[in-house]
Structure 1
Amino acid sequence: MPQRRLSRASALALALVVLAPPAIAAGEGEGDPPPAPIAAPAITVVRATAAPIAQRASVTGTLTPRETVSVGADVEGLRVEALLADEGDRVEAGQVLARLAADTIEVNLARSDSQIARAEAGIAQAEAQVAEAESAAVEAEAALKRTQALSGKGIVGQEILDQRVSGAAATRARLVSARQGIALAEADKAAAEAERRELELQLSKTEIKAPTAGLVLQRQARLGQIASVAGGALFEIARDGEIELDADVSETVLGALAKGQPVTVTPAGGQPVQGTVRLVSPRVDQATRLGRVRVALPASDTLRVGAFARGVVETASAQGILVPRTAVVTNERGTTVQVVTNDVVETRAVTLGLADEARVEIREGVAENESVVARAGTFVREGDRVRPIEADAATVTAEAAR
């Protein structure tokens, strides 16, 4: 009997050891708290929003005049005695820019006037000689007729008849000569008048005038300088004051540009001005792979020829579902966005549309107001449970732009 009771007690103790909880088996106290569950990580999300977007291309280049007009001297050897325009001045067509000394031309004009007067006197003298020769010719012809009549009756001999014939021929010759003298005198007068007109033209060109309205870009003329036709331009004018951005763009961007597109141009150190694409080059440089674009700009005193400038061209626009650029991941598997639904991350393949500096259009794969991970592909993966913290889309976009 004592042995039977001992074996039953031993069996009960063994059962208690086998069935005891692990915590008790390990010697833990029954009052210790259970371990806390692991918290889901906090992830910044933004909502996909429907908004307009514009795709832009950047162009850089130099401000240049649309058309440059060179103004020089048309007369040789005259001294510059007055300068009436300077660099930066806006001038009208016909405005006097400089004046050359005209004293030499005025002296030649006076000489030309005397030559014209002399030619007119020669004409008068030749006309008098013509009148005298005509009178002598009439008298000689009358004498010849009388002598011929008398010779036919035998009253006058052949010798006298020959004298009358010779005299009439001589008077006719003098008449022809006198008439040629008139023609010569008139030719001298015409030459003197032509010379005077040339001198008057030279006198008018002593005033160097602007051939067109515009902006004076450069003045080479100096007081006292001897003007020369071969000496180059005295002034350079931007026709009508039109300044353009002459820019080079890559061949990949060139195809998106077209005449008439609006451009925001910011000169170095200046304020932005609005322009339009005036010309897109039809060719690409084979060495640089760049094409040329000309952007017309409005007249402005802040634009400086030769200054560097940057332009932004709006090449396309649309209304679509937009997310920050940082929410899009592109790799060898394609383009994806991480969407958070019911606190679980889902990776979706998407189709992209237009893009600007900070946002991208999602044409397929994400609906409006869905929450997307602001910085995808860094902290979470497909199926992870997260604690989404919604951020302002504008703030995230501004950070992405920077």
Structure 2
Amino acid sequence: MKRMTRLAASAAFVAAIAAGALALPESMFSASANEPKPAAEAPKPPAITVIPAARKEVVQTAIVVGSLVPREEVLVGVDLDGYRLTDLSAEEGDHVKAGQVLARLSTDMLDVQLAQNASSLARNDAAIAQAKSQIAEATAVEAQANAAFDRGQSLKTKGIVAQDALDLRESTAKTAAARRDAAAQGLALAEADKALTEAQRRELQLRVAKTEIKAPTDGLVLSRSARIGAIVSGGGEPLFRLAEDGAIELEAQVPEAELAQIAVGQPVKVTVQGAPEGIQGSVRLVAPRIDNTSRLGRLRVALPADVKVNAGAFARGTVELARREVVAIPVSAVVTTAGEATTQVVVDGKIQTRPIKTGISGRGLVEVVDGVVAGEAVVLRAGTFVRDGDAVTPVEAQDETKGEAKHETQSEGAKG
């Protein structure tokens, strides 16, 4: 009962104070009332992200796009018309050697012609032998007639042989000489016929050799239009297309402004559609002609011999134009107006807008030739939040911020 009485009295005392019926002594509040209030702090200038200019390696690059093509495309066709294709020995994607048989044509007709030619050669040999025999016979008759004529002339001087008999012997000798000449001409004609037949045989043998369609060089079979049973024609589509030595390279179109900065031998990193890793190549050819309509020039990039890529695939190349260590700032810290470049530098807590002279650029960095020295704090994103003379609180960019700025710059350059 006593405890409940004390609790009731305490509650009544609190209620009386709240209602104002009971006043507390002022000494209870005098200490807190006399404490001084803190003065209001002056507002700080707005914070701005800065990054120090520093010596870094800047690599200037150019992006080129195009397709993979064979360095030299070799067309394999036929020189014969009307022959049927009977055999195929190569498929697309095969690596072939020079002289390797890729396909064969039917030789039935040529086999018959070769048999006929062999018969003609035998006849030619017989005709030559016969002509030689006639020459030998005519030569003997001529010698006999000449001897008889010589004896007649000796006897004529002695008055033993009459003139008419001598004339007959002379005529016989001349006739024998003429027959010998005719036999010699027959031999020459037979030999000429044999030479013609032999030439025809060589032509037939050449045609037989051409029925074996061979690779003219080492290479990779890119396409095959040959089909077994097809009748080939010398003026038709090539039966095979080869990449000489299997060499594949990037053929790209480049704007004329960038083409002037590219030279043979410069390194190029090639990214092929679908390939996870880049391929290191080099510029092999810079075409000397710019297309009048597109204002683009042609570029050829050689790839390593052992690289496995497909001709016709889309590819992208990054050509290294220049590489040197210089004072550099991020691309986002540069503002270009009417061809004049400026940047914003924080000096003693205030913004200074300075004209600068820039050099090469790449990987999100720009070379500063004049206007900013190493160590000065430049605004990371110039011309966005502050103006010349503004008071700011510089905050150095964190590594993540630098990386994001660099990534954004590279993305913008890739879109361009």
Give the TM interval when normalised to the shorter protein.
0.7 to 0.9
Name which of 126, 129, 141 aligns with 2:131: 126
Deviation at 1:395, TM superposition (A): 4.6
Q: 2 CA distance for matches of 1:334 and 1:71?
A: 58
Q: 2 CA distance for matches of 1:135 and 1:401?
A: 104
Q: Work out whether residues 40 and 385 of structure 1, in 8 Å CA contact, stay in contact via their aligned partners in 2.
A: yes
For the structure 1 residues 332 and 193, does the alpha-carbon distance in structure 2 shift closer, same or farther, using more than 3 Å as the test? Answer: closer
Q: 2 CA distance for matches of 1:239 and 1:390?
A: 54
State how 1:203-352 maps to structure 2 within 5 Å. 203-270=208-275, 271-300=277-306, 302-331=308-337, 334-352=340-358
Query: Aligned letter for 1:385?
Result: V
- Structure 1, gaps ≥5 residues long: 1-28
Q: 2 CA distance for matches of 1:74 and 1:182?
A: 37
1:22-59 per-residue CA deviation (whole Å, 9 max, x = no partner) reads xxxxxxx9966544422332322222221101111112
1:225-245 per-residue CA deviation (whole Å, 9 max, x = no partner) reads 222222242112122222222
Q: Work out whether residues 340 and 388 of structure 1, in 8 Å CA contact, stay in contact via their aligned partners in 2.
A: no
Task: Please say if 1:386 is aligned against 2:393.
Answer: yes
Q: 1 CA distance for matches of 2:84 and 2:220?
A: 25
Task: Please say if 1:157 is aligned against 2:162.
Answer: yes
Aligned to 2:405: 396
Q: 2 CA distance for matches of 1:152 and 1:396?
A: 132
Aligned to 1:83: 88
Range that drifts further, 138-147 or 172-181:
138-147
Secondary structure, in 3 states, of the residue corresponding to 2:299?
strand
Secondary structure, in 3 states, of the residue corresponding to 2:143?
helix
1:262-313 per-residue CA deviation (whole Å, 9 max, x = no partner) reads 1112223234222222222223222222222222222355432223222111
Deviation at 1:223, TM superposition (A): 0.7
Q: Work out whether residues 345 and 386 of structure 1, in 8 Å CA contact, stay in contact via their aligned partners in 2.
A: no
Aligned to 1:24: none
Query: Aligned letter for 2:246?
Result: G
Task: Please say if 1:107 is aligned against 2:112.
Answer: yes
Range that drifts further, 359-368 or 126-135:
359-368
Query: Aligned letter for 2:407?
Result: A
Q: Work out whether residues 58 and 363 of structure 2, in 8 Å CA contact, stay in contact via their aligned partners in 1.
A: no
1:309-363 per-residue CA deviation (whole Å, 9 max, x = no partner) reads 2211111122112221112223359433223345443333322221114111222
Q: Work out whether residues 44 and 391 of structure 1, in 8 Å CA contact, stay in contact via their aligned partners in 2.
A: no
Aligned to 1:12: none
Aligned to 1:5: none
Task: Please say if 1:138 is aligned against 2:143.
Answer: yes
For the structure 1 residues 272 and 154, does the alpha-carbon distance in structure 2 shift closer, same or farther, using more than 3 Å as the test? Answer: same
Q: Work out whether residues 335 and 349 of structure 1, in 8 Å CA contact, stay in contact via their aligned partners in 2.
A: yes
Task: Please say if 1:52 is aligned against 2:57.
Answer: yes
State how 1:354-369 maps to structure 2 within 5 Å. 354-369=360-375
Q: Work out whether residues 275 and 295 of structure 1, in 8 Å CA contact, stay in contact via their aligned partners in 2.
A: yes
RMSD of the alignment, in Å?
Answer: 2.4
Aligned to 1:8: none
Name which of 364, 377, 381 aligns with 2:383: 377
State how 1:38-49 maps to structure 2 within 5 Å. 38-49=43-54
Query: Aligned letter for 1:289?
Result: R
Q: 1 CA distance for matches of 2:117 and 2:284?
A: 53
Q: 1 CA distance for matches of 2:292 and 2:261?
A: 19
1:164-192 per-residue CA deviation (whole Å, 9 max, x = no partner) reads 22222221111111111111111122112
Q: 1 CA distance for matches of 2:339 and 2:92?
A: 61
TM-score, scaled to structure 1: 0.85
Query: Aligned letter for 1:323?
Result: I
Q: Work out whether residues 265 and 283 of structure 2, in 8 Å CA contact, stay in contact via their aligned partners in 1.
A: yes
Aligned to 2:73: 68
Q: 1 CA distance for matches of 2:346 and 2:163?
A: 144
Q: 2 CA distance for matches of 1:222 and 1:185?
A: 45
Deviation at 1:399, TM superposition (A): 4.1
Aligned to 2:200: 195
Q: Work out whether residues 44 and 374 of structure 1, in 8 Å CA contact, stay in contact via their aligned partners in 2.
A: yes
Secondary structure, in 3 states, of the residue corresponding to 2:271?
strand
How many residue pairs get aligned? The number is 374
1:55-77 per-residue CA deviation (whole Å, 9 max, x = no partner) reads 11112222222222211112232
Q: Work out whether residues 62 and 306 of structure 1, in 8 Å CA contact, stay in contact via their aligned partners in 2.
A: yes
TM-score, scaled to structure 2: 0.83
